[in-house]
Amino acid sequence: MQSLREKKGFICDMDGVIYHGNVLLNGVKQFVDWMYRNNKRFLFLTNNSQKSPKELQQKLARMGLQVPEHNFYTAALATASFLKSQGASTAYVIGDAGLTNALYEVGITLNDVDPEYVVIGETENYNFESIKKATALVNKGARLIGTNADITNPTEHGEVPACKALIAPVEYATNRKAYYVGKPNPLMMRAAMERFHQKGIHSPDVAMIGDRMDTDIVGAIESGLDAILVLSGVSTRATVEQFPYRPRLILNGVGDIAE
């Protein structure tokens, strides 16, 4: 197998790998500079559906990191693409602008009366009224979609509830299971890999770097990518032992690669 530094492409999770909240992690700038110097292709892939690629680009710029907008792909974009492929035209959405804008861009309009889908992602505006509405609509026949299966997200203030935790009350109240589009769903991974295929780079030449065993690492393994775990997010060496699969490498952070 190629050494990590010989890989032609890198798919990097963001929360817990690139930053915590609004704080850039140690070694990230050095890692990105190393990728540019060595002509590596890279994609920042996030399960967080709150922000658009443009907003993510601006967020990193505020932290002093310049990355083009086309180097980002989000669970919101993957969810919108999936719903479009299913012929959806209406949805009731619990989520922020990154999700609603992605849905608008593929022609899906918001509907809180008789939508085909209820779509839930991360949001700062989570409340009981919206959960009651989502529950009622799913009980009436709307199909339930989660942008991703993360239970928590790491921030500079510690762990906060993420999509799967937010959608759980609707699942329990309706006795319906959501379909989760983001990592480790192969839909998300294939969409990311398509960016590399266009440049003639294929799975054996790509490393997936993430901080979560249950999304990033299993998604990498099932997609034929080199699975690299960093300990800068939610995982520790102890949590790795709880899973029946292993990353190929465990690093303290992405800065280890540049070094």
Q: Is 256 a catalytic residue?
A: no
Q: Is 40 left (phi over 0), alpha (psi -120 to 50) or beta?
A: beta
**How far, in Å, CA of 156 to CA of 96, rounded?**
20
User: Rounded to an integer, what distance in angstroms lies between the CA atom of residue 49 and that of residue 54?
Assistant: 13
Residue 13 falls in the annotated catalytic set = yes
User: What value does the CA radius of gyration of the chain take, rounded to a whole number of Å?
Assistant: 18
Residue 29 identity: K
SS3 at position 213: helix
Q: How far apart are CA 102 and CA 108, in angstroms?
A: 9
Which residues have C-beta within 8 Å of that of residue 74, sequence separation ≥ 6? 45, 46, 47, 48, 49, 51, 52, 53, 56, 98, 102
Other C-beta atoms closer than 10 Å to the C-beta of 250 total: 16
- Left (φ > 0), alpha (ψ -120 to 50) or beta: where does 256 sit? alpha
Torsion on CA atoms 243, 249, 254, 258, rounded to nearest 10: 180
* Residues known to be catalytic: 13, 15
